[in-house]
Chain A
Amino acid sequence: DTEVTQTPKHLVMGMTNKKSLKCEQHMGHRAMYWYKQKAKKPPELMFVYSYEKLSINESVPSRFSPECPNSSLLNLHLHALQPEDSALYLCASSQEGGWGNQPQHFGDGTRLSIL
């Protein structure tokens, strides 16, 4: 069982819909991440939150909107997505400190399909 929980596991939406992805961790980690992964490719970083503040935005289109309501929760709000946005969306978290020597812990992802 993973310690990072993502819901829903699967999501199908039309290009005009609005939906949200949710990620939750209770390991006390203060950094949380959103990744996009295409089949058999490495994950692509989208956003990083550090102590509930957005610290990295990898030039992600505005149709993706992240939110970190508290230290345990991370949301990704979706609006007006394109077919090429269909992918596996992974959430991860890591401990602070050590200047990046802590591993990231990943959830099992939300498989998103855009019709």
Chain B
Amino acid sequence: AQSVAQPEDQVNVAEGNPLTVKCTYSVSGNPYLFWYVQYPNRGLQFLLKYITGDNLVKGSYGFEAEFNKSQTSFHLKKPSALVSDSALYFCAVRDPKYGGATNKLIFGTGTLLAVQP
């Protein structure tokens, strides 16, 4: 079965320090991977995606993610955390069962990032 795991419910980091939010996946075929962020009382915002090509993907707000096929991981990173980065982060993989215009996502359970000033 296809799945996404985010092993940490919460990540705490001091402002200015690097941050990593972990994600591993299990999917048949080549994975299409996504990171989304959700601020309080808002919808999900797309950060970045990996489809193919360079394993290091750069996205919005200074975030990047590293795709590692052998470890089936897609960890989200940022060199220097900001207090405003505090939010709920979701990793997702496209369900390969569907195609065309239909993009069904399988979400991880989410990781709450708390950046302390």
Q: Indicate, yes or no, whether A interacts with B.
A: yes
Number of A-B contacts (CB under 8 A): 79
22 inter-chain pairs at a CB distance below 8 angstroms, sorted by A residue, are A2-B43, A31-B101, A42-B107, A42-B109, A43-B44, A50-B102, A56-B104, A90-B44, A94-B101, A95-B101, A99-B100, A101-B94, A102-B103, A103-B34, A103-B46, A104-B44, A104-B46, A106-B44, A107-B43, A108-B41, A108-B42, A109-B43
Chain A window 8-39, contacts with chain B (Cβ cutoff 8 Å), 1 for yes, 0 for no: 00000000000000000000001100000000
Residues on B with beta carbons closer than 8 Å to the beta carbon of A55: 98, 101-102
| Residue B45 lies at the interface, judged by CB distance under 8 Å to chain A | yes
Mostly, the B contact residues are loop
Residues on A with beta carbons closer than 8 Å to the beta carbon of B49: 101, 103
Q: Are A101 and B51 in contact (CB under 8 A)?
A: yes
Interface size on B, residues (CB 8 A): 28
A100 to B31, CA, bound (A): 10
Residues on B with beta carbons closer than 8 Å to the beta carbon of A31: 101-103
Least Cβ–Cβ distance between A4 and chain B, in angstroms = 7
A45 to B112, CA, bound (A): 21
| A33-59 with Cβ < 8 A to chain B | 40-43, 45, 48, 50-51, 55-56
Residues on A with beta carbons closer than 8 Å to the beta carbon of B46: 103-105
Residues on B with beta carbons closer than 8 Å to the beta carbon of A100: 32, 94-95, 98-99, 102-104
